[in-house]
Chains A and B, each alone.
Chain A
Amino acid sequence: MADKDLKTKWNLTPGGWNLEGVPAYQDEKRFTQVGRSVPRVDGPVKVKGEAVYTGDMILPGMVYGKIKRSTYAHAIIKKIDYSKALELPGVLAVITGEEAPNKWGIVPQAANETVLAIGKVRFYGEGVAAVAAVDEETAEAALELIEVEYEPLPVLLDPFESMARAGEVLIHEDSPKNILHEGEQVYGDIDKAFAECEYVLEREFHTNYPQHGFLEPQTALASYDPQSGQMHLWASTQIPHYLHRQLSIVLEIPMNKIRVTLPAIGGGFGGKGEASIAEFVASLLSRKIGRPVSVTFERNEVFFTNKGRHPCHMKVKMGLDKEGYIKAIDFDNTLDKGAYSGWGMVVLFYTASMLHLPYEVPNVRFRGRSVYTNKPSTGAMRGLGGVQPRWALECIMDELAEVMGISPYELKMKNAIESSHTCINNMFVPHSEYKKCLETAVEKSGFLEKHGKLPFGKGIGIAGGYYISGTAYTLYQNYKPHTSVMIRVDTEAGVTLMCAAADIGQGCNTVMAQMVAEELGVHYEDVHVQSGDTEIGAFDLGSFASRLTYASGAAIKMACVEINQKIKETAAGMLGVRADQLVLKNREVYSMYETKKRIPWEKVVEAYTSINGSLVGLGNFSPPRRKGIDIVTGNRVQGANIGHSPTFGFSAQVHEVEVDVETGRIYVKKVTEAGDCGTPVNPMSVDGQVEGSIMFNLGACLYEDQKLDANGKHLNPNFHDYKTPTTMEMPEMDTNIVESYDHTAPFGVKETGEGAVQPTFPAITNAIYDAIGVRFYNLPITPEMVLKALKEKKAVEASSK
């Protein structure tokens, strides 16, 4: 059905929802299912331990795969001899890199990873061979029998060293400067702007090398049928589609001969936002031996293959005019890419786009480069590209407010954007309650009464942030809809939503059930969700960029239009009223004017299907497309469309800390958060996401860091030595959902899973400054750093007396 037809018949927007300015009985915001704190549809089986994860699955004839990993961070592979491994009873096959030479990578323009290393290894723990054997023990024993001869190369672990020594050592032959990509974006005239500024500060910030810490390690089970040439892969992934696509490239099998299915998934946070070697190896081995092959990473393999957050080395200069309005930002960022490209180019330009919100900035210069090093690759991690620049910017604003002699709250309120804002890079923000977030967090925490007034060792800090609610582009050149859904209604299965969205634990299956129920006028308990399967479900781009609630919501709305129209027409005949005056709510169909005229929804479905058979609705969603330009000059700017999104979520946080000035330990005691997530579809889930977000980055701010020795070998590839905070470190939390409704969004929704990670680093850092008068520019902020800084401060104070 064309959009045009929908509009004339039902007076709906192209996305398929009602317009504003309607009487209460037609009010689109009078939800019954959306906005309800309902238990997760996947909750009971997970609590009972009955959820089936990929690693729980056993197929008839299934065998096990294991990966032999490099013991050098940078070396030429001279020879691999696996003859002894093949002789071990129970070993079925061994593969090496040459078996699958096609390069994979989520950004196809830069794809440069092979399943197993070919000719050279570029990080410690890189896969060099893989074994299939009848049991895991035999597979592990076989790995020991594979002999690999290496010729070590110099190991480059620091991006600056990597650039400096590029003349002498190259990590990738086709990247002559050891740089994956470098870019510059200039908007306005920053030199002129800085010259006119009253307050200018320049600082350097360095972030750390944390990892996601999801509980379920990467796991894959592949079953190849030699008869039909069909591959079925069960995998713990966030991106069934991109995985599907890359499997097709690596295996040289058409996509329609590959099916990707997601069992229960134990978290991802971006780490499963790229294909995993486990998936390729399981598939290759299964094809080779014609039996199902299961591959589960050990925890150290999760660390070896990493794809965690990029360490960023940022030089930031910010200028304000006399009144405190931000006039210019000059930002220079060197990102540590690790060994392979992955999401690299995208992350580089996300750090650029983050400069334009949530404050109005008329002049911006970004210069950045993503640099290869001999470390496990960095990739996507909750709040991709935002967390590092947000930390730098919110900290520098804290300093600038101090220089100006005003509260950081005042400075933020002054510069915060409002709804219908167009950034200088043409990024459009349809709706923002950011100011309300700031106000709420400040009011509820008593920030103004406490800031600067607490005793030495206690402090309070504030920061804000935002994140996208989906992206505007696919990662490969294509403008197809980002999400398609199919809804089936009949008397046999009730309501079933079929899609390929990936519920990785974030709860999208529950939220989608609520949205389908809302739109059809039934209850969320009535909706079955079939998701995470590329064969059963219609197309979906994946779980990343906080896109699902918005994208699925829009597609669901569209799919329901068709179904509701038929339900209404059928009911109209049964009730003798006009179809366009019918309301679908609470499992009933009734006239909005003569409310006595009503009939159970189920009865209508029965009537319809007994004549026509099952009802099916299709819906899809394509994000709005805008040019990446400088809106003043109209000139195209490289990478400027990265960061565009249909809408944006916002968060403000106030953190209260106590610093033990003798041991240096930092205790975050209380966090007051206020978030603009549009309509909270499931408020309980929003609270969970926000609390989880805060703990996630509290960890990376104060504890988490992957450490390597001088040879690039991991020192802490386990949860024993890689320290995440525990529930003991969880502060008291007061999370608030501010009143917000984005009229351009389905059900008024926005993201909530990544916006709330943004303010955590700077709010803690600023609170530490308030507590002990020391500003930190390196992460994580450890007790040792605190003690050292306090000693230095004492020495300076003593000498100035």
Chain B
Amino acid sequence: MFLNHFEYFAPKTSRETLELVSRLGNKAKILAGGTDLMVLMKAKAISPEYLIDINGVEEFKGIVCEEGKGAVIGANTKLAEIQFSEELKAKYPALAYAAGEVGSSQVRHMASLGGNTCNASPAADTPIPLVALGTKVVINSLSGERELLLEDFIQNVRKTNLAEGEMLTNFILPEPVPQSACRYTYMGRRDAMEIDIVNMAVNIELETDGETIKNVKLVMGSVYPRPLVSKEVPPLLIGQKLSEALIEKAAEAAQGEAKPIDDIRASAEYRREIVKVLARRLLKETYDAAKGV
């Protein structure tokens, strides 16, 4: 249970950090909350030669949430801060709720939003609502900055689009459109310290009539190597008013797309069953929220 020997850096500015990231490349790991990194290092699954602790860099922290301008969340913002942010709770309840369901209180006070995404675990909580919300990530390196949709950023189990010398700095959340709602839900064996068996977010936008679905995005976690954005649900629901029959159809479509595996937590068969149940419940909940009921 001992960590390998490594050299430790604690930069104070984003510039210093990027220089280190650039210079040390793949031999280094960024240390945010360490709630994933330390576990992997103790298990000797990875043994980085350098750790770059970004907790001293103020620029990577914080929530900027302005009326009509979406939100920008620094990569090293703690999940507890997101969970308790009044602004985020009002504008992005799905994200605040998902952040509050991660691990335990102790974990949430250490864990960062960026770490949750960069760790690229298929069961992670926050990437699912973030993808449903159309979030973009900001990626920086010494040579500049680029933006990418989060759903394109997470590529596979523990694999992201980050190139050597790059790091994640910000999440950009678009302003929710009127008559829309996004909700998150998950299923586990217990209600805390749980790695989800299945999790899911749904974002629904309604036409001005307040009933017809204009846009829908359904995202599933724990059933695919990365967040799975349903392709089949939107064509079934767009232009429709949600009915029990449609809910059933859409839930079945999502179930058909899910490609879960058997593991110690649940069987694939059970997971598929749960996809359908969660989809049914969450579509209804989100639709009602979008309608304002």
Could you list which residues of chain A lie within 8 angstroms of chain B, going by C-beta atoms? 136-137, 140, 298, 662-665, 703, 707, 715-716, 720-721, 723, 725-729, 782-784, 787
In the bound complex, CA of A782 to CA of B264 (Å)? 13
| B interface residues with partner A (beta carbon < 8 Å) | 1-2, 104, 187, 189-193, 195, 264-267, 270, 273-274, 277
Given contacts A136-B2, A783-B270, A784-B266, contact A663 B187 (CB under 8 A): yes
Of residues B190, B191, B192, B266, which shows the largest number of chain A Cβ atoms within 10 Å of its Cβ?
B190
Which residues of the partner chain A approach B1 to less than 8 Å between Cβ atoms?
140, 298
Contact B190 A728 (CB under 8 A): yes
Question: Can you report 24 residue pairs joining A to B where beta carbons are below 8 Å apart?
Answer: A140-B1, A298-B1, A662-B277, A663-B187, A663-B274, A663-B277, A664-B270, A665-B189, A703-B190, A715-B264, A716-B264, A720-B195, A721-B265, A723-B189, A726-B190, A726-B192, A726-B193, A728-B191, A782-B189, A783-B189, A783-B270, A784-B266, A784-B267, A787-B270
Q: Are A729 and B266 in contact (CB under 8 A)?
A: no
If the complex has contacts A140-B2, A662-B277, A783-B270, are A707 and B264 also in contact, measured as CB distance less than 8 A?
Answer: yes
**A723 near B277: Cβ-Cβ < 8 Å:** no
CB distance from B187 to the nearest CB of A (A): 6
A729 B267 Cβ-Cβ under 8 A: no
Question: B193: which A residues are within 8 A, CB to CB?
Answer: 726
In the bound assembly, the distance between CA atoms of A298 and B2 in angstroms comes to 11
**Minimum distance in angstroms from A675 CB to a CB of chain B:** 27
Nearest chain A CB to B279's CB is how many angstroms away?
Answer: 11
**Closest B residue, CB atoms, query A699:** B190
In the assembled complex, which residues on chain A have CB atoms less than 8 Å from the CB atom of B266?
784
A784, B270: Cβ atoms closer than 8 Å: yes
The answer, among A137, A663, A721, for a CB contact under 8 Å with B2, is A137
Taken together as a complex, chains A and B put the C-alpha atoms of A226 and B191 apart, in Å, by 54
How far is it, in angstroms, between the C-alpha of A98 and the C-alpha of B266 when the chains are bound?
Answer: 43
Cα distance, A726 to B188, chains bound together (Å): 13
Which residues in B have their C-beta under 8 angstroms from that of A707? Answer: 264
When C-beta atoms are compared, the residue in chain A nearest to B270 turns out to be: A784
Nearest CB in chain A to that of B266: its residue: A784
B273 contact set on A, CB distance < 8 A: 787
| A720: B residues at CB distance < 8 A | 195
CA gap between A783 and B104 in the complex, in Å: 23
A726 to B191, CA, bound (A): 8
Is there an interface contact between B192 and A728, defined as CB atoms closer than 8 Å?
yes
Q: A707 vs B266: C-alpha distance in the bound complex, in angstroms?
A: 13
From A729, which residue of chain B is reached at the shortest CB distance? B190
Interface of B is mostly: loop
The 4 lowest CB-CB distance pairs between A and B, nearest first, are A728-B191, A726-B192, A662-B277, A728-B192
Task: Give the shortest distance, in Å, between A218 (CB) and chain B (any CB).
Answer: 15
CA distance A727 to B192 in the complex (A): 8
A539-B188 Cα distance, complex, nearest whole Å: 48
Closest chain B residue, CB of each to CB of A661: B277
Q: What 9 new A-B contacts, CB under 8 Å, besides A728-B190, A728-B192? A: A663-B187, A663-B277, A665-B187, A716-B264, A721-B264, A726-B192, A729-B190, A782-B189, A783-B189
- B189 — nearest CB in chain A belongs to which residue? A723
By beta carbon, the residue of chain B nearest A702 is B189
Q: What is the chain A residue whose CB lies nearest that of B277?
A: A662
- Chain B residue numbers with a CB within 8 Å of A662 are 277
> In the complex, A544→B148 CA distance in Å?
61
The CA-CA distance from A601 to B125 in the complex, in Å, is 65
Report the Cα distance A726→B190, complex, angstroms. 7
A237–B193 Cα distance when bound, in Å, is 29
Cα of A784 to Cα of B197 in the assembled complex, Å = 12
Task: Give Cα A594–Cα B274 distance, bound, in whole angstroms.
Answer: 77
Report Cα–Cα, A721/B193, bound state, in Å.
10
Whole-angstrom CA separation of A787 from B270 in the bound complex: 8
Query: Whose C-beta in chain A lies nearest to the C-beta of B3?
Result: A137
Chain B residues with Cβ below 8 Å from A715 are 264
- Residue of A715, A783, A787 with most partner-chain B CB within 10 A: A783
Q: List chain B residues, Cβ under 8 A from A136.
A: 2
Closest chain A residue to B194, Cβ basis: A723
Query: A298-B1, A716-B264, A787-B270 given as contacts; is B189 within 8 A of A703 (CB)?
Result: yes
Measured between alpha carbons, how far is A787 from B267 in the docked complex, in Å?
12
A138: nearest chain-B partner, CB-CB: B2
Contacts of B190 on A, CB cut-off 8 Å? 703, 723, 725-726, 728-729
Closest to B195 in A: A720
In the assembled complex, which residues on chain B have CB atoms less than 8 Å from the CB atom of A725? 190
- In the complex formed, the residue of B with least CB distance to A727 is B192
CB distance from B81 to the nearest CB of A (A): 22
Cα–Cα, bound, A715→B264 (Å)? 7
Question: Complex: how many Å from CA A412 to CA B187?
Answer: 38
A298, closest chain B residue (CB)? B1
The answer to whether A729 touches B264 (Cβ under 8 A) is: no
Q: Chain B residues near A729 (CB, 8 Å)?
A: 190-191
Bound CA span A140–B1, Å: 8
Complex alpha-carbon distance, A286 and B195, angstroms: 42
Name the B residues within 8 Å of A728 (CB-CB). Answer: 190-192
Q: Which residues of B contact A665 (CB under 8 A)?
A: 187, 189
- A726 (CB) vs chain B CBs: closest residue: B192
Nearest Cβ distance between residue A234 and chain B, in whole angstroms?
Answer: 22
Residue of A nearest to B42 (CB): A298
Complex alpha-carbon distance, A720 and B274, angstroms: 21
A385 to chain B, nearest CB (A): 28
Which residues does chain B contribute within 8 Å of A298, judged by CB atoms? 1
Cα(A663)–Cα(B190), bound, Å: 12
B77 nearest CB across to chain A (Å)? 25
CA distance A682 to B62 in the complex (A): 50
> Distance (Å) between the CB of A140 and the closest chain B CB?
6
Residue from the set A723, A725, A727, A787 with the largest chain B CB neighbour count within 10 Å: A723
**Minimal beta-carbon separation of A219 from chain B (angstroms):** 14
A602 to chain B, nearest CB (A): 48
The closest CB in chain B to the CB of A728 belongs to B191
User: Using Cβ atoms and an 8 Å threshold, which residues of chain A touch B270?
Assistant: 664, 783-784, 787
Bound: A728/B187 CA distance, A: 14
Which residues on the A side are within 8 Å of B192 (C-beta)?
Answer: 726-728
Contact partners of A663 in chain B: CB under 8 A: 187, 274, 277
Contacts of B274 in A (CB 8 A): 663
| A787→B264 CA distance, assembly (Å) | 18
Q: In the complex, what distance in Å separates the CA atom of A471 from the CA atom of B59?
A: 66
In the complex formed, the residue of B with least CB distance to A791 is B273
Q: What residues of chain B lie closer than 8 Å to A137, measured between beta carbons?
A: 2
A728 to B189, CA, bound (A): 11
| B contact residues around A727 at 8 Å (CB) | 192
Q: Which A residue sits closest to B278, measured CB to CB?
A: A663
Residue in chain B with minimal CB distance to A785? B270
Residue of A nearest to B269 (CB): A784
A655-B187 Cα distance, complex, nearest whole Å: 24
Q: Give the CA-CA distance A327 to B218 in the complex, in Å.
A: 60
In the complex, the chain B residue whose C-beta lies closest to that of A136 is: B2
Contacts of B195 in A (CB 8 A): 720
Nearest CB on B from A375, distance (A): 17
A417 to B192, CA, bound (A): 42
Within the complex, what minimum Cβ distance (angstroms) separates A707 from chain B?
Answer: 6
Bound complex: CA A720 to CA B104 (Å): 12
**A662 CA to B265 CA, complexed, in Å:** 18
What CA separation (Å) do A111 and B192 show in the bound complex?
41
Bound Cα distance A662, B248 (Å): 14
Query: Shortest CB–CB separation between residue B270 and chain A, in angstroms?
Result: 5
**In whole angstroms, how far apart are the Cα atoms of A298 and B43 in the complex?**
12
Q: Closest B-chain residue to A667, C-beta based?
A: B191
Whole-angstrom distance between the Cβ of A527 and the nearest chain B Cβ: 37
Q: Shortest CB–CB separation between residue A90 and chain B, in angstroms?
A: 13
- Inter-chain CA distance A787–B191, complex, in Å, is 19
CA distance A729 to B192 in the complex (A): 9
Which residues from A are CB-within-8-Å of B187?
663, 665
Name the residue of chain B whose CB is nearest to the CB of A707: B264
Shortest C-beta distance, A331 to chain B (Å), equals 32
Residues of A within 8 A of B267 (CB): 784
The docked-state distance in angstroms from the alpha carbon of A663 to that of B193 is 19
List residues of chain A with CB within 8 A of the CB of B189: 665, 703, 723, 782-783
> B111: shortest Cβ distance to chain A, in Å?
15
